[in-house]
A and B are shown apart, each in its own frame.
Chain A
């Protein structure tokens, strides 16, 4: 029975130790690569999870309709920030009426995002948004009012409900009931201030803490041409009826859109997707950076392993003379480079989470910890060590013992 594998491990440990500094520096490339991948994955799945949780907490009877065909949804990045979408939306107020007439639809509310500055004592920061909608939004999206009331069809249309952060930004206080503000030059009276939600990432793509909610009719009057409805939220009367409602919605909207499939009806996890799309877009970019640092790290491994092989040519000759076969020599160097890969992977994984948690103190969600991320980090680091260690190990194993022994070291 040959316990060679354990022996190779001990060998590798010995040789990595004898060049401690060099081993650590070589690991660094892998560490940075794996750390950035860990950051991306943990934050993006953390963000995806939070939207999923919101939808679950709404009771599972929500579906939303967005413009654009279902096929283009996943690539259409403009969906993430509807405020910046100036192309005409395919959803209309007429659609809203059609939706409300469908059986088992309990409520439907449009989200129309208006580009207009909010002014009062101070001008609101540019990241504030103006949303035109109907009073039903409150129940569908579970918006809580801190003081005052939500929009109501029975009272004056020129009223507005604002988020607590917006109140502080423009009035310097969240006690804003009865005060007046202007949106795109139109004066509106504040009738309610929302409770702080700390939910900038949600399926409505609106940070309600920092938004002014106005009536749809007022929104249309602001002289911005055809009203642009970015999304319609629909609630069915029960969870069991939701799937029927989705089928009916598709049919009815297809008719009202003249047979053109330029809208998508989303439910469950599909709703979470476009929001976390931002993170996937970021993830794409950062993955590219991570890949480059992994490639550089890998070349670093190969370089150091080639140096190791050259430095230890004589040792290879001695080992062969003492009974090592080509496989033993290759294994020794392979295990060494895989150990560098794994060392870099483990430290990168830890470093990645340290940074991800540090970043998350500025965000409203925690990085996700799951086995998939650990598995990906482990897989990457082992593959790195293997792929970039193969050639040096092959070189080492093929050395001629006598020529190696003649070498001076």
Chain B
């Protein structure tokens, strides 16, 4: 794994909390997160379903606000930044890959990919040219004028990723970007992210697939809205799953039910670990 000089903090979180519901239904999706992410890091976030990963990404991506605590982006406290400026940051600095694709159904593939460029003020011809180039990189060249409904799940996810990368964001937030892809497509995506990482971009990726953490420079596991472990190494051996591996093996059956597409890799102990945590 390449070591990248990571010194300037881009994202600083201090005691970050997010509460949903009120009264009896009150529930903290994030319950005191302290985290510093330096520029150029490639972070993989793992953890069981419902532990707050998506909520954290939404807050990092300025789509949602924390209930309590501090979030500094490039040294500036987010709550002091105007909504307009936040939109500008989303447009110029942040690329979002959603868990559920979120393509606009009435726009063609290429129009979807070109969409973020609209809000950078780039004109249509240039937009389509840039979008076309990135679609070719993702082997979607012949699908440019398809509608999203005409694509397979894997293709849709690749389009969604292409769209997130099109405005060359310095921070990429990816919520299970390879969740629906076979291993070949997964690696195409991961190579692309890895390439962006090598060029100095900051990447924060939620994944359920421990194999993919080998691309990351730092692996964070979450549990019940808190950070559980935080390991600054991409080495498989140093990720501390060992303590819970035995329980995980017992629940192998459940794994298939919950995430059927991980079936072919179910022998990977890491897969089982993450699934196990989800059940806790």
Contact = CB atoms under 8 A, between A and B. Distances in A.
Contacts of A317: 102
Nearest to B87: A325
Nearest to A409: B105
Interface in A300-353: 314-315, 317-328
B115 interface: yes
Contact of B87 (A7, A15, A320, A405): A320
Interface string B113-140: 0011011111110000000000000000
A323 B120 contact: yes
Nearest to A405: B102
Interface residues of B, number: 32
Contacts of B88: 323, 325
Given A323-B120, A324-B119, A401-B63, A318 B102 contact: yes
B280 interface: no
Given A7-B121, A18-B106, A314-B102, A322 B91 contact: yes
Contacts of A221: none
A401 B124 CA distance: 25
A168 to B, nearest CB: 66
A7 B124 CA distance: 7
Nearest to B59: A402
B121 A321 contact: no
Nearest to B122: A3
Nearest to A323: B91
A272 B106 CA distance: 57
Interface of A is mostly: helix
B107 interface: yes
Given A321-B61, A323-B90, A7 B102 contact: no
Interface string A32-47: 0000000000000000
Contacts of A328: 87, 119
A4 interface: yes
B167 interface: yes
B123 A3 contact: yes
B121 A318 contact: no
A322 B116 contact: yes
Interface of B: 58, 61, 63-64, 83-84, 86-88, 90-92, 96, 98, 102-107, 111, 115-116, 118-124, 163, 167
A-B pairs, 4 with minimum CB distance: A323-B91, A2-B121, A325-B87, A323-B119
